[in-house]
Amino acid sequence: MDAILTLVADRAATSLTPLDIETVSALSGGREEVVLSPGEAVDIACHAVSPAQFGAIHDALRDRPVDILLTSRHNRRKRVLVADMDSTMVANETLDDIAAGAERLRPGIGEAVAAVTRQSMNGEIDFQTSLRNRVALLKDLPSSLLDTAATHLSLNEGARTLVATMRASGAVTALVSGGFTFFTARVAALCGFSENHANRLIHAGDTLTGTVEEPVLGPDAKLDHLKRIVAAAGLTLNDALTIGDGANDLPMLRAAGLGIAFHAKPVVRREISDRIDHTSLRSALFAQGYSVTDFRE
């Protein structure tokens, strides 16, 4: 048996049941089971699962808040982690938060920026253009808006655990975002990432100029960082885990040995089969075969 199906239940809403496990085992032809977290996560060993079988498994558990991830038995524990920030490691869209904080100074800017963010994350407009357009709306606003937005940063459940556990196993961890270094530096420190990369907003004194330092860090740059990190560690792309939610994450999600879509936008959900739709970032550890007793905080 050369494949593993990992089932993870939303522990706030339910627990895995024997029927869940029996259903997936029957549809996949799996036999071996390993409990990773009682009532929360289990591995089911099986032979290669076809897309049709994988679809049937998802359909069978459609009404259950359970994520299903399919990985190879070999090289499960990845030695590189490259993660997106906004709506992945943190619950926020930080540029939207900056704009929302400017509402009293420039009414309507919050929704104007958020609308372009939605278009970008759904792949309806290229990322570089969308970022420049959104940043332009911030022209002449005080840079203190970034400090205010930073006070509202909220790590997603399992963010620290994911990074700490992989680092304890020797993985290189990088936060690579289409957002801004002002925020990635803070989130990287909170989570323990080895390095962080993002765009730089340009200031004139205490005022935002409405511009971003070129070149814009977009989807291709995310992929380039992934390749650079892997090569520097003497590894291959198959040794990497990437995780993200938006269209600008797709190149790195496609390229990695394990690319996971996290509560992703429809354009990403349609393309990436390994998805965390119901549960937390802990599931990215379960998908690598870590048990809850292996977790680090």
**Residue 86 sits in the same domain as residue 210:** yes
Length of the chain: 297
277 a catalytic residue: no
**Residue 47 sits in the same domain as residue 30:** yes
> Of the listed 86, 97, 239, 249, which one is catalytic?
86
**Residue 82 sits in the same domain as residue 200:** yes
**Residue 19 sits in the same domain as residue 66:** yes
pLDDT per position in the chain (297 positions), as tens? 799 999 999 999 999 999 999 999 999 999 889 999 999 999 999 998 999 999 999 999 999 999 999 999 999 999 999 999 999 999 999 999 999 999 999 999 999 999 999 999 999 999 999 999 999 999 999 999 999 999 999 999 999 999 999 999 999 999 999 999 999 999 999 999 999 999 999 999 999 999 999 999 999 999 999 999 999 999 999 999 999 999 999 999 999 999 999 999 999 999 999 999 999 999 999 999 999 999 998
Question: How many structural domains does the chain have?
Answer: 2
**Residue 266 sits in the same domain as residue 293:** yes
224 a catalytic residue: no
**33: in domain:** yes
Task: Pull the structure tokens for residue 288.
Answer: 């690598």
Q: Report yes or no: 95 and 180 within 8 Å, Cβ to Cβ.
A: yes
pTM attached to this predicted model = 0.96
**Residue 161 sits in the same domain as residue 276:** yes
Q: How far apart are CA 162 and CA 139, in angstroms?
A: 37
CATH at 272? 3.40.50.1000
CA-closest candidate to residue 58, choices 288, 268, 245, 269: 269
**Residue 167 sits in the same domain as residue 64:** no
Domain encompassing residue 20: 1-74
**147: in domain:** no
CATH at 13? 3.30.70.260
**111: in domain:** no
**Residue 162 sits in the same domain as residue 251:** yes
Burial tier of 129 (Cβ tally within 10 Å: 0-12, 13-18, 19+):
middle
> Of the listed 67, 84, 97, 274, which one is catalytic?
84
